[in-house]
């Protein structure tokens, strides 16, 4: 039985990936490392913790001694790095934390892979490393050979980590792959993100704070499709390569908010346009031609179906998000969403 080390597995995409692997790969054991910061929720892994093929370890990937102990004990053949500070707004408030986790943490993991002979290191990245695209050029898409052009401390830290991963491949021969994905949505997403935030607020008849005029466009991908893509890259992807993962599901933020209102039967009057984010990217759009051509991956979930599945999940799992939306989060929420006068 092969051992896979999954970092950041108590987060949104990492947690969904854990369940995908446990279900689809009965010959894999998962060792999950997570530092359980604000976006890491151990209750996300309640079901996984009952599985004999799953081990959880509460450690920080920046802690070199702790990571060496994990590698020495479990000897993972494959490492999938989801662990990252990933909330753009928070990166604007505290860039240093993002640099240390997303860059130094990645370095620590790759050093351990080299020392203990891991067969593959996979870096989970983001389409935000490419910067943004103009709203009036729907013919333009992000491809893997574009130069990196980060707009926020978050995306700059991820771009830096990507370059470091590729440098380790060229300098040390470390077998690596990178996936850069568009916006994910689905179960277990932290309530600061657009879809769960608007759903929870609308459900409770609270204002729906939308940056600017809500015209920013994102390419949305159901999280299960992303998990399938990563597994295909691990199974058949070429070492040293970057694979874009996107769904050709471009949506304006304001249109998604209105869909959530329609789903809950809430009025659009709840929408409040707020002061725009600093350096807010206009449009993200992934060209997934490479992963389709080389690995045969295509998204299976249409947005119209995926958004209903997602909102149904939040309705059925109120305790999960109610336990999160409290305390420090409320104070942060007030600070981030200052309504325009």
- The residues annotated with a catalytic role in the active site are 127-128, 154
CA-to-CA distance for 19 and 188, rounded, in angstroms? 12
DSSP 283: B
DSSP 286: B
Cβ-contact 123, 243 below 8 angstroms: no
Instruction: Give the Cβ contact number of residue 106 at 10 Å.
Output: 26
Q: Which helix H or strand E contains 57, and what residues bound it?
A: strand 54-58
Cβ-contact 124, 179 below 8 angstroms: yes
Cβ-contact 162, 129 below 8 angstroms: yes
Round the CA-based radius of gyration of the chain to a whole number and report it.
19
32: closest CA among 77, 68, 82, 69?
82
DSSP code string of 92-149: HH-HHHHHIIIIIHHHHHHHHHHHHT-SEEEEEEEGGGG--B-TT-TT--B-TTSPP-
Pair of tokens at residue 330: 């409320």
């Amino acid at each position: 039985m092969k051992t896979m080390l999954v970092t950041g597995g108590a987060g949104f995409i990492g947690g969904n990936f854990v369940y995908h692997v446990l279900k689809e790969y009965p010959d894999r054991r998962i060792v999950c490392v997570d530092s359980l910061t604000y976006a890491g929720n151990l209750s996300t892994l309640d079901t996984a913790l009952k599985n004999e093929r799953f081990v959880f370890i509460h450690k920080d990937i920046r802690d070199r001694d702790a990571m060496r102990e994990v590698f020495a004990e479990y000897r993972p053949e494959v490492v999938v790095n989801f662990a990252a500070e990933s909330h753009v707004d928070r990166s604007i408030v505290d860039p240093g934390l993002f640099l240390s986790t997303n860059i130094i943490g990645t370095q620590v993991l790759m050093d351990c892979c080299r020392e203990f002979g891991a067969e593959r290191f996979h870096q989970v990245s983001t389409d935000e490393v490419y910067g943004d695209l103009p709203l009036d050029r729907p013919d333009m898409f992000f491809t893997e050979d574009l130069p990196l052009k980060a707009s926020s401390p978050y995306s700059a830290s991820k771009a830096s980590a990507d370059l470091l991963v590729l440098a380790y491949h060229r300098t040390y021969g470390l077998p690596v792959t990178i996936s850069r994905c568009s916006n994910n949505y689905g179960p277990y997403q932290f309530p600061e993100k657009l879809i769960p935030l608007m759903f929870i607020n609308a459900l409770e008849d609270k204002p729906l704070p939308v940056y600017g005029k809500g015209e920013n466009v994102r390419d949305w991908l159901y999280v299960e499709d992303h998990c399938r893509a990563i597994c295909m890259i691990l199974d058949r992807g070429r070492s040293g390569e970057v694979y874009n993962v996107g769904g050709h599901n471009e949506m304006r933020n304001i249109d998604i908010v209105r869909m959530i209102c329609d789903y809950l039967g809430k009025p659009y009057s709840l929408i409040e346009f707020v002061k725009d984010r600093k350096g807010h990217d206009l449009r993200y759009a992934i060209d997934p031609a490479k992963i389709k051509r080389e690995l045969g991956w295509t998204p299976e979930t249409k947005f119209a179906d995926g958004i209903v599945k997602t909102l149904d999940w939040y309705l059925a799992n109120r305790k999960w998000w109610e336990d999160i939306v409290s305390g420090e989060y409320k104070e942060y929420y007030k600070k981030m969403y200052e309504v325009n006068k």
